[in-house]
Every structure is written in structure tokens, then in C-alpha cells.
Structure 1
Amino acid sequence: MDLLDDPAPGSNTPEFTVSEIAGTVKKLVEAELGWVRVKGEVGRVVQARSGHLYFDLKDDRSVLSCMTWKGQIPQLGLIPEEGTEVVAEGKMTASGFQSKFALNAQRLAIAGEGALMALLEKRKKALAAEGLFDEARKKPLPYLPEIIGVVTSLQGVVIRDIMHRLRDRFPRKVLVWPVAVQGQACAPEVARAIEGFNALSAGGAMPRPDLIIVARGGGSVEDLWGFNEEIVARAAAASDIPLISAVGHETDTTLIDFASDKRAPTPTAAAELAVPVRHELVAWVEGQAARMSQLVSQGITARGQRLRDMARALPRAEALLDTPRQRLDRATDQLGPALIAGVQRRRVRLADVSGGLRASTLQRRVENDSRRLSELSARLGPALARGVAAKRDRYETRALAFRPDALVQDQRRKTQDFQRLAMRFSDVGNRQIKGWRDHIASLDRLRETLSYKATLARGYAVVRGDGAVVTGAKAAKQAQALEIEFADGKVSLGGKAATPTKAKDTHSDQGTLF
């Protein structure tokens, strides 16, 4: 077996390198199939980290690899989805590294209206499964928004219809965000407009709208396809501002209609949903005001009549005051006698109480307190001496259990405590004795005040007959001898021969004062 390449004599077969063959194939493919349109079903779809897009087109027998470079994606017009039938336009090319050919797809379009509707239904089911179309997440529209944001094109009649309708019903401030309403730029611009309105801050230089209207006139499925893109539906569902969708005519349906908070059949109908009719609102308010005024008037009339009915059932004011006036008159008549009787009762009680205040009673109390004070004073000294002796013995007994130096210190401390205690006992005893003496002195002063001798000093005298106090003229006549006591001395008189004089003051329990 010959392992070396040795061409046979007379052979004219040309020899190529692998790179030459690959380059030749690439040139032939690009020359013969420069710009082509390929129809097929989208298979595997992959977007690399670099941003390039790779996908397959297939039919029932073959598979064609396709790629779209990162810079070509914005002009692609449609992001391929697996299972969608599309028409791809681009240039055929071949790779010399792996001997493969592929289509550099630069434009994509759905292959027919049936395929578009199938793709739309697929997207609708996927977004509905995520909950983007749930009624629970839809927000109510404001009754009368101050600012309305409109996302539409400035070239069409849609914006004029909306403005005209708003002026007729209820003029409001309108912010217009111009966008493309069909074509490749439609979906990203509409999504950015919705997100831009939501990004505005309340009270800023550009006011934030209270309501958003996304509007477009009628058209074919291809014309309205930008509003069927997923980014538009997600932007409408994520809007914090209530959103009205008014895309196409009443028979046209797009994904934004399901994701919005309210769908309007036409842009004009969207303006009617946005604001009420001003004249109707004014008329309604005036009607409510008239009804309220009528109801208030009827209520006041009914309550006035009820008040009058209840007033007739009440007694007259004069009749209500008759009984209190009679009670006042009776109380006035009884006041004078009641005061006099009260004074008399208190005078009798005072006489009864003062009868027990005799000088002899006070003197006995003073003598008893003096005797008790003397006894306590006599007992205080020996008691203190006994207490001091007992404490001294206890201190001396305890002092034997300590060291000599400790005993000295302890003895000194106890001596100081003893001295303080003795001083406290002495102070307490002195204060108590002083208190008793003050009390006895006050009682003695009270005794002297109540004694008849103080009365004698004011010019009165005490008459005694046969050694006993004489309290009347009859007793004085019967006495054998009379003695008259004055403040400065006593005078003796004959008894029965003496003529008694008339008493000049009331009788006392000590005798008769003349």
C-alpha cells in the first residue's frame, strides 16, 4: 500500500485546499442566492450574550439556519417565536469554518393573516395565564381628571377628534406624546410613552396625567399589529395611571384592549369615557341643590309643626311657678319664728352646759393633775437611775469579753451613747414636766377666770348667813348673822334686824351678788 500521494501519469484533476473549496462555495452561494425570501416555520430560537439572534426555519423535510446580527435586530420588524410561520428576507452566506450555509435574515413578516391570528391567540393565552388581563387588577377611571395624557400620532385625525370631543363635553388639559401608530417603531414607542407618562412626578415641571388614552384609527391586522406586541401589553398592564385603549374601530381587537383598564370602541368614545358632560353635570348639581333645598324646607316645616304640637302639651310657665312661690311664702313666714326658737334652744343648752363649770370642779382637776405630776416627777429620778445602772452593768459585763484596747474603745463609745441617751431622757422628762406645768397653769388661770373672786373684783359681793351662802331675801331674813364678802375684805351685819337690799344681778352657784 502506497502511503504517499503520487498522481498517475496523464491525470489533469485540479487540486484545491480546504480553504479554497470553502471560499469558492461561499462565493457561489452569495452570487447565485444573493437576496432571497424564504417561507417556513420558526424552530429553535437563541439570542447569544453578544446580542446576535440565531434561529431555524423548517418545513416538512429540511431545516435552514438563520442569524441576525445585533445591529440588524431593530430593523427586523418581528422577533421570531417558535412555531410561528414567517417569511424571512435576507442574504444567503456560507461559513468556511464548518462548511455550513445559512441565511442572514434582515426582515421578518408573518406568513399570511391566518398565521398572524394564530400568533395573536398564542400571545393572548400566555399573557392571560400570567394574570395580565384579570379584572381584579384593573383600576377605576377618575370621574373628572385634571390632566389627560394621549398617546397617538400627530398626523392623523384621531387627536383632533379627541380634542374636539373633550372641548364639547368638559375642557381639560391634554398632554400628547407623539408616537408611530404602525410599522416597526410602533410597539417600542407606544411602550416608552406609557412608561414615560408613569415616570412623571406629581407637581413637577411637566405635570403627571390622571388618565392615559392610547388611540389609533382603524386599519388592517398588519397595520394594528404594533398594539399586539408583548411589550405594549405589558406596559399597559404595569401602568399605575388608569389607561383607556381606543385602537381601531369597534370590531378591531388588540392585546392592549385586554391589558388596559377600559376599552373604548373608538377614539371619540374614549374622550366620552374620560370626562362627563359639563352641562349635564351642572344641571344634575342644580337639580340636587333644588331637591336638597326642598327637603330642608320640608324638614323645617315638619319639625316646626311637631314643636308646636309638643308645646301645646306643656303647662304654662306661670303654672309651673305657682307651687314654688307658695313654698317660698310659707318658708318666709316660718323663718322669723324658727330663728327665735333656735336662739332660745341654744340659750337653754348653753345654760345647761355652763352649769357644770364650777370653780370647785376645776380646782379638783388642778389638784389631781398637780398631785399626779408630783408623783410622776418623784418616780422619774429613781427610774432613770435604775435604767442607767442596768445599762452600765450590761456594758461592763460585755466589756469583759473584749481585748483591753477594744474594751477601751467600746467603753468610750458606749459611754458616749449613754451620755446621749441620758441627755435625751432628761430632755424628754423636762419637756413632759414643762407641758404638765403649762397645762396646770392654764387650768388654774381658767379656774381663776371662772371663780367668783374675779366677779368680786368688778364690784360685786357675796352674802353669807350663818356661814352659808344666802341666795334670796327670805333666807337673809331668817339668818341670825350676815356676812358680806367684798374683794378687799368681809363685813359682818346683824341678821333679822337688817333690811336686805334688792338684788342687782342674776344669781350664781357661788352665792348672791349685790
Structure 2
Amino acid sequence: MSDLIEDDAPGGNSPEFTVSEISGAVKRVIEGEFTHVRVRGEVGRVSRPRSGHVYLDLKDERNVLAGVIWKGVAQRLSTQPEEGMEVVATGRLTTFGGQSRYQMVIEDIAPAGLGALMAMLEKRKAALAAEGLFAAERKKALPYLPQVIGVVTSPSGAVIRDILHRLRDRFPRKVLIWPVAVQGAACAPEVARAIEGFNRLAPGGALPRPELIIVARGGGSLEDLWGFNEEVVVRAAAASAIPLISAVGHETDTTLIDHAADRRAPTPTAAAELAVPVRMELLAWADAQGARLTGALSRALGQSRQRLADLSRALPRPETLVAQARQRLDYWDERLPGALRASLQARRLALSEAAAALRPVVLTRRLGEARRGLDGWAARLAPAAARLRRDRAEALRRAAAGLRPATLARETARKRDACNALSARFAAVAEGQLARWQDRLAALERMRQTLGYTETLRRGYAVVRAGDEVVTTRAEAERAGPLEIEFQDGRFSPGGGAPKKRPSPKKPPEQGSLF
């Protein structure tokens, strides 16, 4: 201490210290006296900056103790501090000279007794319920008879043996076991990862995706079951697309995963009973239903047979049904010869009356009248023909008078010019129409090649034929005879030699000009 004492100043002999010296001395004293302490108190203010460290206050009814949890320790804690929680913190006391205060470096923190755990559990339950994670409308129905069941539990405990034994007794199913820790700090993250892992399995993959998940654990204290009260487990159970049964603890034990699961089983054995029905009961029920069906069919057949017999007795005899028709047939058979003779006589009389009008005298008179009418028309025909001939000759002379050489030449030139102009217009229109048709034909040809199956062959596909028929299924190929496979560069017959080159499509004939 002598090196810290300078020469006595006038007026006193007390030594002088720097601020850092005093701060260091206090730090050494506090850390030397309180190397390892356990402090019980209520968590006050909690701060989590981006650095990952946790700053908090431990308080009672009179004093406040500042605390810090370094990032590495905070990540390993099984219980995260929350404001208002009563805890027991383990660590060491130190000072922070920059603010002239002492603080506790916390190395572990745990709830202070069952009451604190229950208070924290109720608070977390209320918060998750407010988010709707426990709502009844979110719960899914369990499959009646799942093909694959996923079990999340410890592989070494009695729970998995009870589940497998119960499933084997009731209805054997495929079981996938995801081993996890069922208590301690690793419990919550492993259970959450197991639930998420089962949901990520693809249906139809190498590892079958379960149709039902059972999360199971035996009984224990609240601290032992605390991993199933963690928020990460509850959220994983609520987000599971696969129906989930919670079988954590015994009948009196309740955890938060029970509220988020689709069904809660009081014991792991009860979970197995909820998962599958009893096979023998199903077989007995099926036999009973088969017997009922057989009896119903027999009764229905007997009733139908009796009904048919009753109806057949009510029907008249066939002879009675055709008696009247037979009598009417005999009646008309008796009247038919007389009716035929009467009809023949009436036709003969009508023919005689018509033949009376065709006598030779009548025909000669009508022929003479027709000849006289024809002679009259012949006498009028010669003057009419002569008059028509004169009129046509006069018209021809007038037309010839107008056909002079100069007029003919002028009219011919005008008609020729008009004809040439019309021909040029027609040629232009025809060439334009022909060009449009050729463009359209080329576009259609490109579209045909694009949409045709030959383009598909160039992409690596092939066409299988049996003769002229295209084979599209395995069953048709097995029934067909020799097969022929068409590739992009030709056809190939298995066992038939070298492939035949596919004939190139014929080009359309060249369209010549119309002029």
C-alpha cells in the first residue's frame, strides 16, 4: 500500500486513489467474496439486444439486483427468463466499473418451485390459446385405419413396448419410431423436430409418410414433463398436417401439447387403442353384415318368387286371351270369298263402261277433228314464216349499214384497249391472290410440321405400331404381333434388320401463273 501513498500534502496524511484503482479494488473484493451464489427473486425488466446477451433484474420487495446472461449460456438454458417469473439464479457477483454498479453473471436459471412453474404454465397457456392454437375447429379427424403410424418417444422406455404390443393385439400396422429425449433440455427441440420431420416426408417416397403421429411419454413430475409444455413443441403439434395424438404422462397429467393435439390419450396404451380398431371385432362385424346380407337376399328372393306365383294365378289362361281373336278370324274368313267376287264384278262393270267410249266410230270422229285443226294451223304457218323472214332481213340490212370499215376499226381499237386494261387488272389481282395463297400455304405447312408428330419424334419420343395400328398401352403391345418403332430418322422393327428411313413429306406441286 506504500507505493500508493505520495508525499504528505499540507493539511493531511490520507492516501489518494484513482477511480480505476478504487473500481478494481471493489471488483476484486466482491468477486473474491461471492465466487458462487444462488439468488432467489422475481424477474423484472428483461432485455434481449441483437448481441444475443440477456440483461435482466432480480428483485424482491425492497431491492433490485442487475443480472446478465451471456449469449452462449442463454442458448443452453432450459428455462428462458420471463418478466414476473420467480426464479433461482446461479452464478457469481461482479462489478461493472463503467456505470459504478455491481451485477450478477448468471450461469443457470430455474423456476423457484412448483408455484412458479404453474404460474408460467398458465401464462403461456393463455397466450397460446389467444392465438387460436387450441381451437376445436383446427383439430383434424383421426384416420379410421392408418397404414403407417409414426411414434415420437424414447426408444428405450416401456412406452414404445406398450404401444407396439397394443397395436399388435388390436390391428398390426407399420410403425415408424423417431427416437427423442423425453425430458431435460434436449426434449423440446427434439420432439418439435420429430413432428416436423414426419410432416416433411413425401407421400410414396422411399420412407413411407405416416398417416397418424403419436407423441408418447410415461408419467412424471411437472419438471419431468416440462419439455412438452414448451412453445416450440406446442406450435409444431398445432402446425402438423398429419393428425396427432398426445399421450404424455398418465391420466392425471396434463401438458400444453395435449391442448394443441388433435386427440389426447390418457396413457400411451390408450393412444394405441385410439389409433386402430380391433381387427377381430371388424372381422366379426363383417361376418355379421355378410350374414345379414345373405338373409336379406334370401328373403327378398322368396318374396319375389311368392309375388310372381300370386300374379301368375291372377292372369287368364292363354286360350281365353286368343279365343275372341280366333273367332274374328273365322268370321272374316267366311266373308272373304263373297267380298272378292263382289269386288271383281264391280271392277268388270267399270271396265265395260270405260270400253264403251272407245268404239271405232268415236275414235274416227275425234281423229278427223284433230286433223282439221292441224290443217288450219299449217295454212297460217307459211304466211307467218314469210313475214318473220322479211323482218329479220330488214333488221340485218340496217345493222350492215352501221358496220362501215372506219367505225369497225375505231370500235375494235376501243374494245381492244378495254380488253387489255381488264386483262392487266385481272393479271395483277390473280398474281396478288396467288401470292397470298402461297404465303398461307407455306404458313399452314409450317404449322403442320410444328404440330405434327414428327416434331415430337425429334424431341426423343417414338411411335410404336403393330401393322397399321398405333400401340399406346402395355396390354395392347402384349396382344399385338411384331412391333415396329418409328424414330425421328426412320422406322425400326426389332429383329427385322436395319431401320427404314422415314419418307420425307412430299412437297406441294408448284403453282404456275394463270397468264
Residue in structure 1 matched with residue 116 of structure 2 by the alignment: 115
**2: CA distance between counterparts of 1:7 and 1:294?**
123
Shift of 1:250: 0.8
**1: CA distance between counterparts of 2:34 and 2:354?**
147
**2: CA distance between counterparts of 1:328 and 1:33?**
134
Contact 1:212 1:244 in 2 (8 A): yes
Shift of 1:17: 4.7
1:219 and 2:220 equivalent?
Answer: yes
Task: Summarize deviations over 1:163-188 as a string: whole Å, max 9, x none.
Answer: 11111111111111111111111111
Residue in structure 2 matched with residue 287 of structure 1 by the alignment: 288
**2: CA distance between counterparts of 1:106 and 1:366?**
149
1:87 and 2:88 equivalent?
Answer: yes
Shift of 1:331: 4.7
Residue in structure 1 matched with residue 200 of structure 2 by the alignment: 199
Residue in structure 2 matched with residue 229 of structure 1 by the alignment: 230
Residue in structure 1 matched with residue 490 of structure 2 by the alignment: none
How many pairs were matched up? 396
1:404-443 correspondence to structure 2 within 5 Å? 409=414
1:51 and 2:89 equivalent?
Answer: no
Given residue 44 of structure 2, which amino acid in structure 1 is its aligned partner? Answer: G
Residue in structure 1 matched with residue 455 of structure 2 by the alignment: none
Scaled by the length of structure 1, what TM-score is found?
A: 0.67
**2: CA distance between counterparts of 1:164 and 1:88?**
44
Cα 1:322–1:368 change in 2 (3 A) is farther
Cα 1:8–1:284 change in 2 (3 A) is same
Cα 1:175–1:340 change in 2 (3 A) is farther
Task: Summarize deviations over 1:107-128 as a string: whole Å, max 9, x none.
Answer: 2211111111111111222222
1:240 and 2:241 equivalent?
Answer: yes
**2: CA distance between counterparts of 1:412 and 1:327?**
92
Task: Summarize deviations over 1:122-167 as a string: whole Å, max 9, x none.
Answer: 1222222222222222112122111111111122111111111111
Cα 1:407–1:229 change in 2 (3 A) is same
Contact 1:169 1:275 in 2 (8 A): yes
Given residue 317 of structure 2, which amino acid in structure 1 is its aligned partner? Answer: R
Task: Summarize deviations over 1:62-86 as a string: whole Å, max 9, x none.
Answer: 3333333332233211122222212
Given residue 15 of structure 2, which amino acid in structure 1 is its aligned partner? Answer: T
**2: CA distance between counterparts of 1:222 and 1:205?**
38
Task: Summarize deviations over 1:207-254 as a string: whole Å, max 9, x none.
Answer: 111111111111111111111111111111111111111111111111
Scaled by the length of structure 2, what TM-score is found?
A: 0.66
Contact 1:52 1:68 in 2 (8 A): yes
Cα 1:185–1:323 change in 2 (3 A) is same
Residue in structure 2 matched with residue 132 of structure 1 by the alignment: 133
Unaligned 5+ segments in structure 1 are: 1-5, 397-404, 414-514
Given residue 51 of structure 1, which amino acid in structure 2 is its aligned partner? Answer: G
Shift of 1:11: 3.8
**2: CA distance between counterparts of 1:299 and 1:69?**
83
1:382-397 correspondence to structure 2 within 5 Å? none
Residue in structure 1 matched with residue 257 of structure 2 by the alignment: 256
Cα 1:355–1:71 change in 2 (3 A) is farther
Cα 1:146–1:11 change in 2 (3 A) is same
Cα 1:352–1:410 change in 2 (3 A) is farther
Residue in structure 2 matched with residue 298 of structure 1 by the alignment: 299
1:154-169 correspondence to structure 2 within 5 Å? 154-169=155-170
Given residue 45 of structure 1, which amino acid in structure 2 is its aligned partner? Answer: V
Bigger Rg, which one? 1
Residue in structure 2 matched with residue 32 of structure 1 by the alignment: 33
Given residue 153 of structure 1, which amino acid in structure 2 is its aligned partner? Answer: S
**2: CA distance between counterparts of 1:233 and 1:42?**
24
Cα 1:366–1:411 change in 2 (3 A) is farther
Cα 1:31–1:332 change in 2 (3 A) is farther
**2: CA distance between counterparts of 1:228 and 1:366?**
132
Residue in structure 2 matched with residue 16 of structure 1 by the alignment: 18
Given residue 280 of structure 1, which amino acid in structure 2 is its aligned partner? Answer: E
**2: CA distance between counterparts of 1:296 and 1:197?**
47
**1: CA distance between counterparts of 2:164 and 2:331?**
90
**2: CA distance between counterparts of 1:184 and 1:355?**
134
**2: CA distance between counterparts of 1:365 and 1:53?**
139
**1: CA distance between counterparts of 2:59 and 2:174?**
53
Tell me the SS of whatever aligns to 2:107: strand
Given residue 168 of structure 1, which amino acid in structure 2 is its aligned partner? Answer: D
When the two chains are superposed, the root-mean-square deviation of aligned CA atoms in Å is 4.0
Residue in structure 1 matched with residue 508 of structure 2 by the alignment: none
Cα 1:332–1:250 change in 2 (3 A) is same
**2: CA distance between counterparts of 1:341 and 1:263?**
104
Shift of 1:290: 1.2
Contact 1:152 1:179 in 2 (8 A): yes
Cα 1:7–1:174 change in 2 (3 A) is same
Shift of 1:44: 2.8
Tell me the SS of whatever aligns to 2:321: helix
Residue in structure 2 matched with residue 308 of structure 1 by the alignment: 309
1:287-366 correspondence to structure 2 within 5 Å? 287-333=288-334
**2: CA distance between counterparts of 1:273 and 1:321?**
72
**2: CA distance between counterparts of 1:406 and 1:316?**
102
Residue in structure 1 matched with residue 146 of structure 2 by the alignment: 145
Cα 1:296–1:15 change in 2 (3 A) is same
Given residue 102 of structure 1, which amino acid in structure 2 is its aligned partner? Answer: Q
Contact 1:86 1:110 in 2 (8 A): yes
Cα 1:31–1:301 change in 2 (3 A) is same
**2: CA distance between counterparts of 1:63 and 1:367?**
155
Contact 1:75 1:107 in 2 (8 A): no
**2: CA distance between counterparts of 1:38 and 1:86?**
8
Identical pairs, percent = 59
**1: CA distance between counterparts of 2:282 and 2:264?**
23
Tell me the SS of whatever aligns to 1:97: helix
Cα 1:189–1:411 change in 2 (3 A) is closer
**2: CA distance between counterparts of 1:361 and 1:80?**
139
**2: CA distance between counterparts of 1:224 and 1:329?**
105
Cα 1:282–1:14 change in 2 (3 A) is same
Contact 1:212 1:242 in 2 (8 A): yes
Tell me the SS of whatever aligns to 1:105: strand
**1: CA distance between counterparts of 2:368 and 2:92?**
147
**2: CA distance between counterparts of 1:215 and 1:333?**
101
1:166-181 correspondence to structure 2 within 5 Å? 166-181=167-182
